[in-house]
């Protein structure tokens, strides 16, 4: 606001001086020179600001606001309790924890946990991204690291706090393994400065610093960062399980009017693999859909539509040709029929409405969260993936490129079977197999499942055709409708 007012006032002043006949040439020259100097200083890191969040008026985040991460919160809270009692630390001669590394997939709440940790320890919160430290000029990154730590200490003193939490997101950009870039040493110098700053943290410091970092790629970090005395603790922040998803949904729907037909446990079951960010987006998209319809409450149908949108993207205006539409319907119906065969009640929605990059898709109801997979389970997954292409061949006489991604996934699962010792090769290392042996075994697995799928779809060809016609007419079939059509066709 002040910037815009100042610019406007300056322009008005120049116009006024021109009107009264004043020579503004020297003023324009001096202004341009000052702007150039500022640009050069900023590009070399001499003028830099970090994202500071020490304001007392800012909304505080507590661990109660972080859902689905009970294990990560317990580990983090234990580490924070360990450093909060400074008197006891001094009495026992304990070296304080200097760094905590949060690792896990995107959208799982790592930044939120860091903010909650700052609130838990009554610390100022200073954040930066790893990419902010890296530029082409040597020494700039190291200077910015020094300024970050200095800013944290000054902010704590200003707000009369004993603790400051420095949060570095995407630390793999800053803390990657040294020696990976041979063109210049800017990356290495920046990392070296971070190591120096962390080594300088002492229990007797007036302001106790704690460095919390987040990354999706901990395997890329330099070993010097991960040794004791730097990042002493690593906290894994994984995708939430079913109970975790339910907790997150409750958090994100607590301020939303839900209709009586909305079942949060059912939504938690249907959103397997969703991160906390996905679930927040789901609740938000459902509310937006309700607003568009001028509905007073958010209903189950709004949430079901929102799930499709979060997974696949928004509906597309482009419409395939009639021939393509029929092929898509056959393909998706093949997937759905085999899915119902291997696990009854598994199909939630079957549609040929284009979304994102997909012309059609089926959405399955998730089983209980699985951490181990049996041979039967993996073979069933392959069968479902191959069913689309086989259905095209049975009904239309040929396959299409629409099955390309299905085949890639089927091959990956086949390799998983080999790696797990569940193929005809027995216990082997996938990496030591010759390409010919690997290809032959993978092909055999796929052919066996293709024969199984072909036999089942051929026996149910009439039902396949009925469902395809129904899907072409309505563009969307619910799981209940699909099962009714299958039952009627078999009668």
The CATH number of whichever domain residue 269 belongs to comes to: 1.10.8.60
pLDDT at residue number 408: 94
Residue 332 bears catalytic tag: yes
Structural tokens at position 86: 């400074």
**Domain annotation covers residue 31:** yes
User: Residue 223 to residues 10, 219, 226, 488: CA-CA distances in angstroms?
Assistant: 53, 9, 5, 63
**Domain annotation covers residue 77:** yes
Judge if 470 and 327 occupy the same domain: yes
**Domain annotation covers residue 426:** yes
Q: How many CB atoms lie within 10 A of CB 461?
A: 13
pLDDT at residue number 258: 93
Alpha-carbon distance of 123 to 364, in angstroms, equals 45
For residue 448, which of 383, 389, 366, 377 has the smallest C-alpha distance? 383
The residue from 236, 268, 285 where one domain ends is 236
For residue 464, which of 414, 403, 392 has the smallest C-alpha distance? 392
For residue 100, which of 238, 225, 262, 213 has the smallest C-alpha distance? 213
**Domain annotation covers residue 351:** yes
Alpha-carbon distance of 376 to 14, in angstroms, equals 80
**Domain annotation covers residue 317:** no
Judge if 154 and 248 occupy the same domain: no
Alpha-carbon distance of 487 to 483, in angstroms, equals 6
The residue from 190, 207, 236 where one domain ends is 236
DSSP 107: T
What does the pLDDT profile of the chain (491 residues) look like in tens digits? Answer: 445 556 666 666 667 666 677 676 676 667 777 666 665 555 444 444 444 433 333 557 888 888 888 888 988 888 887 777 767 777 777 777 888 899 988 888 898 998 998 888 888 888 887 666 665 444 567 788 888 888 888 888 888 888 888 898 888 877 777 766 554 555 677 788 888 888 877 766 778 888 898 998 888 888 888 888 888 888 899 888 888 999 999 999 999 999 999 999 988 888 878 889 999 999 999 999 999 999 999 999 899 888 888 887 766 666 778 888 999 999 999 999 999 999 988 888 888 887 766 788 888 776 665 668 899 999 999 999 999 999 999 999 999 988 899 999 999 999 999 999 999 989 988 888 899 999 999 999 999 999 999 999 999 999 999 999 999 998 888 888 899 988 887 76
Judge if 225 and 285 occupy the same domain: no
The residue from 220, 236, 252 where one domain ends is 236
pLDDT at residue number 48: 43
458 neighbors 394 (Cβ within 8 angstroms): yes
Judge if 399 and 443 occupy the same domain: yes
Residue of 132, 247, 280, 332 with catalytic role? 332
Judge if 392 and 418 occupy the same domain: yes
**Domain annotation covers residue 122:** yes
For residue 458, what are the contacts with CB-CB under 8 A and spacing of at least 6? 394
Q: How many CA atoms lie within 13 A of 47 on its CB side?
A: 9
Judge if 330 and 213 occupy the same domain: no
Q: How many CB atoms lie within 10 A of CB 486?
A: 21
**Domain annotation covers residue 387:** yes
411: domain CATH number? 1.20.58.760
For residue 26, which of 36, 41, 5, 34 has the smallest C-alpha distance? 34
Judge if 468 and 337 occupy the same domain: yes
Judge if 80 and 206 occupy the same domain: yes
pLDDT at residue number 56: 37
Judge if 297 and 369 occupy the same domain: no
Helix (H), strand (E) at residue 349: strand 347-351
pLDDT at residue number 57: 35
pTM over 0.75: no
Q: Which long-range contacts (CB under 8 A, 24 or more apart) does 91-94 make?
A: 94/203
Q: Please report, to the nearest 10 degrees, the dihedral formed by the alpha carbons of residues 188, 193, 194, 197 taken in order.
A: 160
Judge if 213 and 263 occupy the same domain: no
Judge if 156 and 298 occupy the same domain: no
Structural tokens at position 287: 């509310």
214: domain CATH number? 3.40.50.300
**Domain annotation covers residue 354:** yes
Judge if 22 and 165 occupy the same domain: no
12 is in which domain, residue-wise?
A: 2-43
**How many structural domains are present in the chain?**
4
213 neighbors 168 (Cβ within 8 angstroms): yes
């Amino acid at each position: 606001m002040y910037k815009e007012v100042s610019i406007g006032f300056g322009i008005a002043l120049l116009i006024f001086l021109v009107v009264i006949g004043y020579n503004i040439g020297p003023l324009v020259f001096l202004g341009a020179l000052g702007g150039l100097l500022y640009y050069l200083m900023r590009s070399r890191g001499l003028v830099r600001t970090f994202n500071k969040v020490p304001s007392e008026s800012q909304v505080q985040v507590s661990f109660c606001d972080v859902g689905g991460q009970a294990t990560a919160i317990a580990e983090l809270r234990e580490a924070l309790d360990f450093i909060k009692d400074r008197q006891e630390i001094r009495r026992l001669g304990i070296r304080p924890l200097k760094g905590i590394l949060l690792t896990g997939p995107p959208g799982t709440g790592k930044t939120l946990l860091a903010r909650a940790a700052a609130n838990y320890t009554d610390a100022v919160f200073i954040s930066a991204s790893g990419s902010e430290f890296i530029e082409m000029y040597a020494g700039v990154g190291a200077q910015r690291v020094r300024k970050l730590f200095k800013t944290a200490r000054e902010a704590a003193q200003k707000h009369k706090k004993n603790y400051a939490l420095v949060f570095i997101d995407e630390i793999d950009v800053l803390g990657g393994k040294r020696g990976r870039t041979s063109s210049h040493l800017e990356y290495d110098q920046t990392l070296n400065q971070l190591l120096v700053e962390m080594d300088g943290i002492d229990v007797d410091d007036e302001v106790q610093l704690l460095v919390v970092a987040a990354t999706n790629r901990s395997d890329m970090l330099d070993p010097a960062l991960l040794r004791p005395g730097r990042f002493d603790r690593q906290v894994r922040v994984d995708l939430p399980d079913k109970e975790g998803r339910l907790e997150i949904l409750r958090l994100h729907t607590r301020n939303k009017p839900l209709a009586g037909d909305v079942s949060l446990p059912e939504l938690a079951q249907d959103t397997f693999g969703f991160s906390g960010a996905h679930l927040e987006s789901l609740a938000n998209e459902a509310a937006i859909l309700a607003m568009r319809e001028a509905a007073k409450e958010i209903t189950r149908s709004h949430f079901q539509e929102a799930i499709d949108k979060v997974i696949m993207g928004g509906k597309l205006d482009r419409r395939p040709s009639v021939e393509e539409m029929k092929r898509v319907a056959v393909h998706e119906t093949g997937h759905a029929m085999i899915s119902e065969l291997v696990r009854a009640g598994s199909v939630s929605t079957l549609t040929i409405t284009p979304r994102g990059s997909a012309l059609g898709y089926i959405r399955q109801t998730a089983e209980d969260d699985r951490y181990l997979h049996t041979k039967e389970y993996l073979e069933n997954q392959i069968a479902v993936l191959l069913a689309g292409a086989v259905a095209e061949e049975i009904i239309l006489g040929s396959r299409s490129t629409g099955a390309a991604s299905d085949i890639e996934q089927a091959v990956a699962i086949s390799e998983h079977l080999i790696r797990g010792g569940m193929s005809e090769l027995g216990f082997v290392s996938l990496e030591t197999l010759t390409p010919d042996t690997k290809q032959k075994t993978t092909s055999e697995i796929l052919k066996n499942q293709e024969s199984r799928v072909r036999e089942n779809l051929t026996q149910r060809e009439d039902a396949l055709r009925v469902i395809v016609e129904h899907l072409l007419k309505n563009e969307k079939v619910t799981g209940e409708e699909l099962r009714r059509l299958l039952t009627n066709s078999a009668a």
